[in-house]
């Protein structure tokens, strides 16, 4: 019986990972196909990658995406961390319910609603849409993810450490800087990376809040995809997957190094 259970488990694992990684793997393989047709293998080629380098619009969109992600993640991390401290440490304060509600709501709210409401705000305020409106929109919807990550860390460590520092005469600012901040730093870094990833990946909110001169990479890919499958998109996809894959391996190695 034991052997049978093991066999079933192995089979399930193989099937599960095949489902998860199969489609991604196919994209990577076909990005090296010399033929334009999916069903014909025309031999190995890197011509589609060479074509990408000539695509000035694509390169501009990569730049826009990186800038938006960086700025919005910094703002979201700052706001999200402060909000986490408020929720984890300040107990009941006036309008806490509204504050908490506004923080958690974007976690589950459909992106179309967030995008639509922010666009209406920018129109009402007469703000010209562009890079900075996307930054503001992304900072708003990624902030809640930072808060959740940091708050769980704050809830997880021993408050006696903070109390001891206070008893020994450290002021609140000093206690925060020497005790709390180092303890929650991993969570802040994780929150920042999450915000960065979510911003880089977002299509819907960016489409609502972008202006004519600020197209992000997902927007660019989306407009290409709508025209149909093409080897160029496979090549962009493979590059994007490679960047994420390398980053994940890097952090896995890093966290393993810490564990030892």
Partner 1 sequence: MRPASKARSRRNWLVIAVPYGWLLLFFLAPFALVLKISLSQSALSLPPYAPVFDWSDDFRAIVEKLQALSFESFAGFFNDSLYVDSYVSSVVIAAIATLLTLVVAYPFALAIARSSPKVRTILIGLAIAPFWTSFLIRVYAWITILKDEGLLNHFLMRIGLIDAPLGIFATNTAIVIGIVYSYLPFMLLPLYAAIEGQDQALLEAAADLGASPWRAFLRITLPLSMRGIIAGSLLVFIPAVGEFVIPDLLGGSDTLMIGRTLWNDFFVNRDWPAASAAAIVLLILLVGPLLVYERVQLRDEKVRA
Percent composition of the chain: helix, strand, coil (DSSP 3-state, to 5): 80, 0, 20
**Residue 68: in which H helix or E strand, if any?**
helix 56-89
One of 42, 46, 50, 123 touching partner 1 (CB under 8 A): 123
3-state secondary structure of 33: strand
- Is residue 50 part of the contact set for partner 1 (CB under 8 A)? no
- Is residue 197 part of the contact set for partner 1 (CB under 8 A)? yes
In the chain, DSSP assigns E strands to none
Within 8 A by CB and 6+ apart from 127, the residues are 133
Name which of residues 6 to 45 contact partner 1 (CB under 8 A).
8-10, 12-13, 15-17, 19-21, 23-24, 26-27, 30, 37-39
One of 120, 164, 177, 246 touching partner 1 (CB under 8 A): 120
Give the CA distances from residue 103 to residues 100, 125, 154, in Å, rounded to whole numbers and listed in that order.
Answer: 5, 23, 17
For residues 187 and 146, give the distance between their C-alpha atoms in angstroms, rounded to a whole number.
8
- Is residue 58 part of the contact set for partner 1 (CB under 8 A)? no
Q: How far is the CB of 223 from partner 1 (least distance, A)?
A: 11
Q: How far is the CB of 112 from partner 1 (least distance, A)?
A: 5
One of 3, 53, 92, 93 touching partner 1 (CB under 8 A): 93
- Is residue 80 part of the contact set for partner 1 (CB under 8 A)? yes
Name which of residues 138 to 167 contact partner 1 (CB under 8 A).
139-140, 143
């Amino acid at each position: 019986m034991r052997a049978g259970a093991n066999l079933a488990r192995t089979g399930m694992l193989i099937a599960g990972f095949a489902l998860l990684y199969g489609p991604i793997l196919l994209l990577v393989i076909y990005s090296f196909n010399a033929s334009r047709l999916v069903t014909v293998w025309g031999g190995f080629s890197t011509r589609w990658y060479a074509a990408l380098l000539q695509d000035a619009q694509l390169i501009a969109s990569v730049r826009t995406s990186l800038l938006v992600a960086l700025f919005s993640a910094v703002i979201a991390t700052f706001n999200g961390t402060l909000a986490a401290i408020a929720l984890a440490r300040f107990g009941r304060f006036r309008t806490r319910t509204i504050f908490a509600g506004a923080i958690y709501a974007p976690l589950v709210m459909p992106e179309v609603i967030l995008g639509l409401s922010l666009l209406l705000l920018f129109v009402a305020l007469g703000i010209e849409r562009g890079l900075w409106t996307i930054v503001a929109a992304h900072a708003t919807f990624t902030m809640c993810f930072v808060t959740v990550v940091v708050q769980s860390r704050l809830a997880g460590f021993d408050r006696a450490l903070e109390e001891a520092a206070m008893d020994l005469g450290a002021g609140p600012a000093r206690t925060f800087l020497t005790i709390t901040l180092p303890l929650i730093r991993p969570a802040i870094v994780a929150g920042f990376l999450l915000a960065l990833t979510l911003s880089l990946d977002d299509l819907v909110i960016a489409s609502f809040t972008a202006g004519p001169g600020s197209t992000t990479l997902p927007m660019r890919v989306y407009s290409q995809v709508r025209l149909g499958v093409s080897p160029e998109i496979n090549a962009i996809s493979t590059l994007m997957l490679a960047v994420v894959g390398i980053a994940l391996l890097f952090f896995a190695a890093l966290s393993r190094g810490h564990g030892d």
